[in-house]
Amino acid sequence: MKLFRILLQAAWPTVAGAAFAGLLNGGSTAGLIALINATLQGTPSLQPLLPWGFIVLGGLLLLTHFASQVLLVRAAQQAVYEMRLLLGRQILASPLRQLEAIGQPQLLATLTEDVDAVARSFSVLPNLFNAVAIVCGCLIYMGWLSPPLFFALVALIGIGAGSYMVLAGKARQFLEQARSEQDRLFQHFRSLTEGVKELKLNRRRRLAFLHQELEPTAQQTRQQNQLGYMVFAIAASWGQLLLFVTIGFFLFTLPHLLGATPTVLSGYVLTIIYLMLPMQQVIDAIPIFSRASVALKKVESLQLSLEEPQQDPDASADFMPLSWQRLRLENIRHQYRGTHEDEPVTFTLGPLSLKAEAGELIFIVGGNGSGKSTLAKIITGLYVPDQGEIWVDDHCLTPNDYEWYRQHFSAVFSDFYLFDRLLGLDSPDRLAVVPYYLDKLRLSHKVRLEGNRFSTTSLSQGERKRLGLLMAYLDDRPAYLFDEWAADQDPVFRDIFYRQLLPELKAQGKTVFVISHDDRYFDVADQLLKLDYGQLVQHTCRNQ
Ligand SMILES: Nc1ncnc2c1ncn2[C@@H]1O[C@H](COP(=O)(O)OP(=O)(O)OP(=O)(O)O)[C@@H](O)[C@H]1O
């Protein structure tokens, strides 16, 4: 049902047009069968009209079949298009913590496998819809021919459909298990692509990865899918057997019991034989719809939806960043909860407070795992803290303000992503300064701006980070955050970063947060915050 709701939401007028054409198609099919039956029975009064009727009904059948197919293909493609965009928007609107908890492999599996499964089900819809229309038209014709035989037929169809659904339910369970294995498969694909160097360098590790990780999961996925589709095949064969039993019943048993005339009998057998193809199409479509409904369930389990558009956060709020005088974090606390080998594991940052003025350089320092990046995500508004308040001048942030608040920051995180083009930066003024910054960051001999795209991003890690810094400069936000930016720079450029670039940003009135292990440069900082196991253990201000 949800699949149809998605389709209706995307393009209900087109679906309504297709439904109308489908109904006409079913009607003309039934009419054509009635006409063929009448011709075969040689009803004298109708003979002169039959050839004309045949031409008209045949023409109508072809036309309505074509119209309903074309309209449904359009509606289905529109639904797939909207579904992809909706999922993209929802992922972008979801809290970062939620996305981190889901994990990259699961998101990728959903964006590819699940969206594909739903798209595949939409692609068989036109044929299915036609088949259902023909079945309905034929049933109406058979009901008109003989009500007692019609009820006998409906009872047989009911038994067939009921037993088919029991088997289909079992098959669906196997498909669900196969889908769970697919998440693990994507996890392995990630290891394969991101760990390719490590796997290439060590043969034993590579073989262990192939035989102990990839192979068993791929095998499990294959087995569960195989079982699922095999049960569907058994169900389909059972359905076909029932169809033959039904024809046999109508030929040899029921007419004697219910006293049907030869016209009625031949009409029934002709219609049932004609129905075999559309029935087969319906039966073939059921596994595809089952897989699609497993996909929808999976998408919903990630607290995403392909159905209900959430309010688009980009639509309403005014995102113009302000310049601020002071930023305050009061009693902020954030906790990660998880399990490791069935033991609960938590990491708690805070409670901690800090103040940052415009034009201040604030260094956040501490050992590995002390919570620096977590604090950075809270400062930039990527995490909403479990407890505490963030104040921008005299305004305390409410949950609805976070989207607006984040627009005040430009950041280069340690695991930053480098876009190869300047997205969202089309003002000629901003683009004109790019060569200046490329020069300043000593990249002009390697990278050019071509239109709004960089000529290359195949650079060393240090150079990529410089390009990331250029993007941050172009954003021109009131606040900046650099997470171990200098770690990949050579000593000369590291010196330039701490002694020249950071003071320049400060002189422009920017608030700059720097996560750093470079204690040689701590003297540059106006404030130094030291974290240890999530607690603020040292807070030094230059003016104190
Ligand atoms: N997404 C997450 N889910 C669960 N726990 C996390 C997550 N990210 C970090 N942690 C936990 O929080 C702790 C602090 O991590 P964080 O990345 O903030 O440290 P850090 O000080 O930036 O470390 P480093 O200097 O190594 O980058 C870690 O010990 C880690 O166990």
CATH of the domain at 332: 3.40.50.300
Q: Is residue 308 included in any domain, yes or no?
A: no
Q: Where are the beta strands (DSSP E) in 40-150?
A: none
Is-contact 175 224, C-beta < 8 A? Answer: yes
The per-residue pLDDT for 315 is 56
DSSP lists the bridge partners of residue 391 as 328, 396
**Is the minimum distance from the CB of 374 to ligand 1 under 6 angstroms?**
yes
- What are the helix and strand counts (H, E) for the chain? 19, 12
Of all protein residues, whose CA lies closest to atom 4 belonging to ligand 1? 336
Q: Which of 373, 481, 517, 530 to mutate to test the pocket of ligand 1 (most atoms within 8 A of CB)?
A: 373
Strand, coil or helix: what is 539?
strand
The reply to whether 262 and 399 lie within a common domain is: no
Phi, psi of 441, rounded to the nearest 5 degrees: -90, 10
> Is 350 found in the same domain as 229?
no
Instruction: Tell me whether residue 317 is in a domain.
Output: no
Ligand 1: residue whose CA is nearest its atom 12: 347
pLDDT at 307: 60
If one residue of 336, 339, 375, 484 were mutated to test the ligand 1 pocket, choosing by the most ligand atoms within 8 A of its CB, it would be 336
| CA 480/CA 353 separation, integer angstroms | 19
Minimal-distance CA residue to ligand 1 atom 13: 369
Residue 346, phi then psi, degrees to nearest 5 = -135, 150
Atom of ligand 1 nearest to the CA of 100: 1
Q: The domain containing residue 27 runs over which residues?
A: 2-301
Q: Where are the alpha helices (DSSP H) in 448-517?
A: 461-475, 491-496, 502-507
Distance (Å, whole) CA 63 – CA 53: 15
Q: What residue's CA is closest to ligand 1, atom 29?
A: 369
Measured in Å, residue 109 CA sits from the centre of ligand 1 at 25
* Domain stops at, among 286, 301, 316: 301
Distance between Cα 157 and ligand 1 center (Å): 60
How does DSSP assign 355-420, residue by residue?
Answer: EEETT-EEEEEESTTSSHHHHHHHHTTSS--SEEEEEETTEEPPGGGHHHHHTTEEEE-TT----S
Q: 422 with 297, same domain?
A: no
Residue 312 lies in a domain: no
494/534 same-domain check: yes
Same domain membership, residue 344 and residue 291:
no
Question: How crowded is the C-beta side of 81, counted as CA atoms within 13 Å?
Answer: 8
282 & 358 share domain: no
Assessment of whether the complete model's pTM goes beyond 0.90: no
The reply to whether 66 falls in a domain is yes
Q: Domain check: are 431 and 484 in the same one?
A: yes
Please choose from 349, 370, 514, 530 the residue to mutate so as to test ligand 1's pocket, defined by most ligand atoms within 8 A of CB.
370
Q: Is 281 in the pocket of ligand 1 (CB under 6 A)?
A: no
100 lines ligand 1 (CB under 6 A): yes
Burial of 428 (0-12, 13-18, 19+ CB in 10 A): exposed
Closest C-alpha to 141, from 247, 269, 258:
269
Instruction: Answer yes or no: do 255 and 371 share one domain.
Output: no
DSSP 8-state class, residue 312: -
Average pLDDT, consecutive stretches of 10 residues, N- to C-terminus, the chain (544 residues)? 75 84 82 82 71 86 87 83 86 88 88 86 79 85 85 84 88 91 91 92 93 94 92 86 78 71 80 82 86 88 66 56 84 84 78 93 94 95 94 90 90 90 78 86 88 87 92 90 92 92 93 94 93 90 69
Q: Are residues 478 and 360 in the same domain?
A: yes
- Do 294 and 330 have their domain in common? no
Same domain flag for 295 and 353? no
Q: Which residues contact 226 (CB under 8 A, 6 or more apart)?
A: none
Distance in angstroms (rounded) separating the CA atoms of residues 210 and 204: 10
Question: Is any ligand 1 atom within 6 A of the Cβ of residue 368?
Answer: yes
In angstroms, the Cα distances linking 114 to 84, 128, 147, 416 are: 11, 21, 44, 27
The whole-number pLDDT of residue 543 equals 62
For residue 450, the SS3 value is: strand
Q: Which residue has a Cα nearest atom 16 of ligand 1?
A: 371
Cβ distance 122 to 234 under 8 Å? Answer: no
Q: What is the ipTM of this complex?
A: 0.96
Nearest ligand 1 atom to alpha carbon 376: 18
Pocket of ligand 1 contains residue 336 by CB under 6 Å: yes
Cα angle 442-448-452, degrees, rounded to a multiple of 5:
125
